[in-house]
Amino acid sequence: MTERTISPSMDLRDVANAHQPIEWGRWLLWAFVLVVAANFAWIVAWNPNFGWPIVAEWFTAESILKGLSVTLGLTVVAMIIGTAIGLMLAIARMSNDTLFSSLAGLFIWFFRGTPLLVQLIFWYNLSTLFPQISIAVPFGPTLVSWNTNDLITPMTAAIAGLSLNEAAYMAEIIRGGLLSVDKGQVEATDAFGMTRGRALRRIIIPQAMRSIIPPTGNQLISMIKATSLVSVIAMADLLYSVQAVYNRTFEVIPMLMVAVIWYLVITSILNVGQGFIERYYARGERGATDVRANVRMEEPA
Amino acid sequence: MTIAAEKISPVPAEPLVRARNVHKSFGSNEVLKGIDLDVMPGEVVVILGPSGSGKSTFLRCINHLEAIDRGSIVVADEQIGYELRNGRLHKLSDRAIAVQRRKIGMVFQQFNLYPHMTALENIIEAPVGVHKQNRREAQAYAMELLSRIGLTEKAHAYPRQLSGGQQQRVAIARALAIKPKLMLFDEPTSALDPELVGEVLATMRDLADQGLTMIVVTHEIGFAREAADRVVFMDGGVVVEQGRPEVVLSNPSHPRTRLFLSRFIQRG
């Protein structure tokens, strides 16, 4: 024996060669959960009430795909407009200028404080409130004027309702992200004589993205489902198209399964995309530990 | 080896920095109570003093990171934050203040490198984005600066992959890349592990030797002794004593300076 010993009965053994105990409890739990899941899948698959052949038949039907494209289109447009307005609101809300910050606060207060469904119905029925929409000097002459009914179609009402509501939520998400960036970063951009806009674009927003993206992913997924509310103003989105079918055929559950599967497919694709975007904005974090180890080796202190 | 872009004439005529009767309060707490200080081109001024003496605040007033309440600060013949028009002093817009800051480099205690950019990207950000230099030229100059601080092989590393000392040296290179007339150092070694302080001070000593005008707030008495042309001792928001480092550090005339230095020497 070359090792030194602590006590006569105990050698100093290298822990690298130690045996792992077998975790019977965990394996059993895994097996149990898998069996239950497989059984549940089996029951669902062979339950005739789900009407899987009907699901397969309608899954790629033209009316359903049209509804799907409306859902996706509305989501993308409302999300882009909502994020753009939300970014402006967030910056206005954080501004030192009381006018800007209170206007932004008022907007956020109103659009977060009222149900989206009510907002959509208001937009759709705007013509009953304001038959004419005009650009005019306050208390002065009218410059341009439109008939509200010509402007507000189901499509424009849906886009206006969804994106303004989304803007209010995105404003708070973006503001949270901007607040999460270290104060020293703002100071550095100031000291280097960067303009506010450039500092936001190049330094602050890219760092804020790390905390903006996860809640934005949530918002996007909620938005996909929130678009189903536009069926009340006669927009034929995915859910509306499915309902149109089962109102004729009475195959309620199979048709809802068509919608459910499509919603899950879109959400899964978005989750994968979100993962890629998160990795991109975490690039300064990546590999910090292993490279640091190299640094230490290169420079013996 | 000249990192300093501006070649400075050996006989300076006018002070580069002139601060007169500078006052600054945070709420009811008056931090600066009338600071007068001139810094000549090429001069290295080290500001010492206990924490809370106002030395960092004063440094941050020089590039208007803090607005002063009273007095005036002039850098390279421009009053910082204000402009004289028709015989009256007007407050400058944020944009105009940003332009004034572009001739002043700053190094922070916490480095404040942009964590989502590599060392090279950090260095060229201001030259390309603010000073509208050609990207290729800015990159070439950045690589030259990196090679002078011995970090050429770290050009494409992100700040988190660098040690604290390396990060601070990159931050110094970033400030030098804008070819500043004046460099401000705000406790550049206070956030570093003791064994990493030396490499940063060595870089700063090189800059001092090359005739860059520097104002350094620090607790490093050794650096003050070796590199400073003048040591300024601040306490309680005023300049208590200033002069050649060998005089102020070895033979301080003011009791508060003596007390501060003796504590430092005791602490080791």
pLDDT digits (tens, 9 = 90+) for A8-49: 556 788 888 888 888 899 999 999 999 999 999 999 999 998
Chain center to CA of B47: 10
Residues in B closer than 8 angstroms to A206, CB to CB, are: 116
**Measured on CA atoms in the order B29, B233, B258, B268, is the torsion positive or negative?**
positive
Q: Is the pLDDT of residue A85 over 60?
A: yes
Q: Is the pLDDT of residue A145 over 80?
A: yes
Q: Is the pLDDT of residue B11 over 60?
A: no
- Scanning every residue of chain A, which has its alpha carbon at the shortest distance from the alpha carbon of B159? A284
Residue B10 binned pLDDT confidence (cut-offs 50, 70, 90): low
Q: What is the DSSP letter of A227?
A: G
Q: Is the pLDDT of residue B199 over 90?
A: yes
Phi, psi of A283 (to 5 degrees): -60, -30
Between strands B214-217 and B182-186, the pairing is parallel
CATH 3.40.50.980 fits A61-280, yes or no: no
Q: Which two tokens stand for residue A81?
A: 């407009």
Nearest Cα to A120, choosing from A159, A86, A91, A146? A159
Please measure the distance between the N-terminal and C-terminal CA atoms of chain B and give it in whole angstroms. Answer: 34
Beta strands in chain A (DSSP E): 5-7, 10-11, 132-136, 142-147
Q: Is the pLDDT of residue A288 over 60?
A: no
> With an 8 Å Cβ cutoff, are A191 and B101 in contact?
yes
**B90 in Cβ contact with B142 (< 8 Å):** no
Q: Is the pLDDT of residue A152 over 90?
A: no
Phi, psi of A22 (to 5 degrees): -80, 125
Sketch the domain layout of chain A as residue ranges: 61-280
Q: Is the pLDDT of residue B216 over 50?
A: yes
ipTM rounded to 2 decimals: 0.88
> With an 8 Å Cβ cutoff, are A284 and B115 in contact?
yes
Residues in B closer than 8 angstroms to A197, CB to CB, are: none
pLDDT in tens, B74-123: 999 999 999 988 889 999 999 999 999 999 999 999 999 999 999 999 99
So what CATH class is B40-57+103-267?
A: alpha beta
Question: Mean pLDDT for chain B?
Answer: 91
Residue the block writes with tokens 């394996």: A27
**A244 in Cβ contact with A63 (< 8 Å):** yes
Q: Which two tokens stand for residue B44?
A: 């290295």
Q: Is the pLDDT of residue A4 over 50?
A: yes
Sketch the domain layout of chain B as residue ranges: 40-57+103-267
- Scanning every residue of chain B, which has its alpha carbon at the shortest distance from the alpha carbon of A293? B161
Question: Mean pLDDT for chain A?
Answer: 88
